[in-house]
Chain A
Amino acid sequence: MKKYIFGFILILAIFLLQYSFINFSGELFTFVNPLLFSIIFVSLFYSAKITIFWVIIGGFLLDIYSLFNFGIHIISLMVMVLLVHYFFQKFITNHTFYSFVFLTAASTLFYYLLLMALTTLLYILNFSELTWQMNNQLTLAILVQILINSVFMGLIYYIFSSFSNRLKANFILKSNNK
């Protein structure tokens, strides 16, 4: 229970930090999305239960303030973490630096593609009067965000791998210990 209460406070703090502080701190900072990054981080490093909790609380907060239909952000985040989980289980057998960086880049891209697809679909089906509009500035912002998220995940991977056994391949460690 403590884990979830702490998680809730942390999500709220990250949300407030992003939308009432970082986004007002100048153009440079518009390329940073700590809430999305933290959800990707949780999905890669923690259990499915904790990830779903983060997705629901984070997505709920985003949807309260979003101009799009309620649910767009929660669904995009949920599908994103399901895709990450699928890739993680099916294709990535080794928890290497490159696999984490790749999954982070893919997750960020998935999230924005899902947002775009859902908002466009709702607009076409007349459920929403607003649609996603792409422009050069936004494309650049998403690409830079993919880069920043990947670099940060790389750094966190190194920090985590030096302090925790979570990322080390168990079977190799066991055979070395024999």
Chain B
Amino acid sequence: MAVVFLLIFLHSLNILSPLEKGLSSFMKPVQWVLIGASRSVSSFFERITNNNDLFQENIRLNEKISELTRENSLLKTTLKENEIIAPQVKFLQEKNYNYVMARVISRSVDPTFKAMTINQGKQEGVEVGMPVVANQGYLVGKIIRTESNRAEVLLLNDARSNTSAQIQNESASPGIVAGEFGLTLKMDFIPKDDAIENSQSVISSGLENYIPKGLLLGKIESIKTKAGDFFQTAYLTPFLSYDQLEVVSIITHY
């Protein structure tokens, strides 16, 4: 137990910092390779659950494809990354935002959080509160902690995440988007008299520091109104699955 408290004490004095940095720098490339491999496992199981026949067919086709593409696998990887990165870069450049691109290197070690670790940190200008976007400007979370060479992103579907948002309707109805049981998004505090409908998009309101207006959060899936309440609640579907994120961008200035 004495060793444990000594470690905590040394950590609080930042004496362990070089060791922590060294370990995470050493693990970063391995983590990235492992995440890439896990995508194959993930899609493998998705195919099993979707359709067994299609899965069999896919195995045969995939074997054929992998034979043909073995020689240029490196090129294929680069192309895949470009496919993910291109729409992100296009969006960020069109909007003229300053940004830092980052790779997802791990999931949160605390099971109670819907969070992920990215491979960019303080050294690249990443700060707590900055928005993290993917694809064509879809807001996926906010930076919750930074270290010199990595940062933790709290995803929008975490119950502790709160984002000031507005609905793309005539009255630009405001509200707060938070995670619901780590599964879906819930927009609360929408004025009761505002007319809102399913399929309307929800965007960031621009009222928070660091977060520009207009980043897409999700689409309204259902609306809940209680008699006597001053507000109504909308349940949203995110535009993309947070589990499949590989490359994201942090907006550092707008």
Residues on A facing B (Cβ under 8 Å) = 12, 16-17, 19-28, 30, 52, 56, 59-68, 70-71, 73-75, 78, 115, 119, 130, 132-138, 141-142
Q: Name the prevailing secondary structure of the A interface residues.
A: helix
Add 15 more A-B contacts to A70-B8, A73-B109, A141-B111 (CB < 8 A). A24-B38, A24-B39, A24-B42, A24-B107, A25-B38, A26-B42, A30-B111, A56-B4, A65-B24, A65-B117, A67-B115, A67-B152, A119-B112, A133-B159, A138-B111
A19: nearest chain-B partner, CB-CB: B106
Q: Is B213 interfacial (CB 8 A cutoff)?
A: no
How many residues does chain B have at the interface if contact means C-beta atoms less than 8 Å apart?
A: 45
Q: What's the nearest-Cβ distance from chain A to residue B174, in Å?
A: 25
Across-interface contacts of B113 in A (CB, < 8 A): 67, 130
Docked Cα-Cα span, A12 to B24, in Å, equals 11
Partner of A136, one of B115, B152, B154, B181: B181
How would residues 1 to 15 of chain B score, 1 for a CB under 8 Å from any chain A CB and 0 otherwise?
101110110011000
Q: Provide a sorted-by-A list of 11 A–B residue pairs whose CB atoms are within 8 angstroms.
A: A16-B30, A19-B106, A21-B41, A23-B38, A26-B41, A26-B42, A52-B3, A56-B3, A66-B108, A137-B183, A138-B182
Across-interface contacts of B38 in A (CB, < 8 A): 20-25
Q: Is B243 interfacial (CB 8 A cutoff)?
A: yes
Given A64-B23, A71-B4, A71-B8, is A135 in contact with B181 using a C-beta cutoff of 8 Å?
A: yes
Pair A20/B110 contact, Cβ less than 8 Å: no
Most buried by B among A17, A19, A27, A130: A19
Most buried by B among A28, A52, A73, A130: A130
Across-interface contacts of A28 in B (CB, < 8 A): 45
Given A20-B38, A28-B45, is A67 in contact with B144 using a C-beta cutoff of 8 Å?
A: yes
How would residues 149 to 160 of chain B score, 1 for a CB under 8 Å from any chain A CB and 0 otherwise?
000101000011
Given A65-B109, A133-B160, A138-B111, is A21 in contact with B7 using a C-beta cutoff of 8 Å?
A: no
